[in-house]
Amino acid sequence: MTIHITPQQQLESKSQQGINQGAKLPLLYLPHPKRIYQHRKQRFMQLAKANPLAHYFSLCAKINALQLTIVDQSPITQNIKVAANNLITANNSALLSANNLFNQQWQDYLTQIINGLTDFQPQIDPIIQSLNNKTRQEKQQLATDLLSGAFTKVNSGEALFIWSALACYYTQLAAQLTGETAAIATRAHNSPLCPLCHSHPIASIVHLGSENGLRYLQCSLCETQWYSPRVKCTNCQDMSAIDYYSLDKELAAVKTECCHHCHGYLKIFYQDVDPKLDIVVDDLNTLILDQETENAGFSKTGLNPMLFP
């Protein structure tokens, strides 16, 4: 693997320029569920061709297709616009936390997903059967474990389907938070976690056409993107020792941003290099970069919703 280190002063200057113009630039991008699932499905299908992960990519594409059907035909019934401002000031928890907004409509989504996958691939049938045999209370507990970060308490195969259903639910909630509500939620939380639901990011992205080179972290649950300064560790906030690893070339579309202070890393995606990138799909498509980065002594601090430990 080739290690490329972009001059730190150059990136700090570009990041600072974005901060100075912060009044004109969005600090938060709310999700568009239909657009996300449509693009992700297409990207999985595109990369599944002649790919060693072809079967898994096909499964993920099918899940995304089912998520798209859900948000199109079975949208959430919960409207949080009126209650949002009161909720964000009522306590210190995230606006879209399990404490505030967590009903059981996500379980209807889970049923639709696993029913849509029945007989799709024989190897997942035992997982589907196991989920079907669980009570609603048991499923709710598994979801609570996942949302609290207790991933080892949930079978990784079951976690994939449960999280996919939860994501359908929370992404639609996040999409409602337009205008001042989103600004309030952003100001209320200042950490590496999602300002709306407190979930871990998948990775970070520099948008296509971002003149100031600003990067945004993308939530693994509600798909919200929030501004995060570059050349700053997204895990420990240290700015003293950041390196960028890539496999092939300095101007790679995907790199790992590695911190020598906490020894954590997170991928960063550059849409100006590849406009077709999807954070979830291309994170899975570059697992060799994870392997090489971890061989160098770093540990991943993000969570891919399609790949549980």
| pLDDT score recorded for residue 305 | 94
Tokens 């300064």 found at: 229
Type of residue found at 47:
L
Q: Which of 169, 159, 110 is nearest to 136 (CA)?
A: 110
Helix H or strand E encompassing 41:
helix 33-48
Per-residue model confidence as pLDDT tens for the chain (309 residues): 555 555 444 444 444 444 444 446 778 899 999 999 999 999 999 999 889 999 999 999 999 999 999 999 999 987 777 666 665 555 556 778 766 666 889 999 999 999 999 989 999 999 999 999 999 999 999 999 999 999 999 999 999 999 999 999 999 999 988 876 766 666 655 578 898 888 999 999 998 776 567 889 999 999 999 988 888 898 988 888 899 999 877 678 999 999 999 999 999 999 989 999 999 999 999 999 999 999 999 999 999 999 987
| pLDDT score recorded for residue 112 | 97
The answer to whether 302 touches 203, Cβ cutoff 8 Å, is yes
| pLDDT score recorded for residue 210 | 62
The answer to whether 218 touches 202, Cβ cutoff 8 Å, is yes
| pLDDT score recorded for residue 23 | 43
The answer to whether 171 touches 33, Cβ cutoff 8 Å, is yes
- How many other CB atoms are there within 10 angstroms of residue 52's CB atom? 8
| pLDDT score recorded for residue 182 | 67
Distance of CA 150 to the CA centre of its chain: 17
Q: Which of 207, 214, 203 is nearest to 272 (CA)?
A: 207
Considering Cα of 227, then 230, then 235, then 236, what sign does the dihedral take?
Answer: negative
CA distances from 289 to 2, 84, 231, 257, 283 (A): 10, 40, 19, 11, 9
Domains of the chain listed by start with CATH number = 2-29+191-300 (3.90.1670.10), 33-180 (3.90.1670.10)
Q: What is this structure's pTM?
A: 0.89
Q: What are φ and ψ of residue 303, in 5° steps?
A: -135, 120
Helix H or strand E encompassing 254:
strand 254-259
The answer to whether 262 touches 236, Cβ cutoff 8 Å, is yes
CA pair distance 33, 41, nearest whole angstrom: 12
Q: Half-sphere exposure (CA, 13 Å, Cβ side) for 283? A: 23
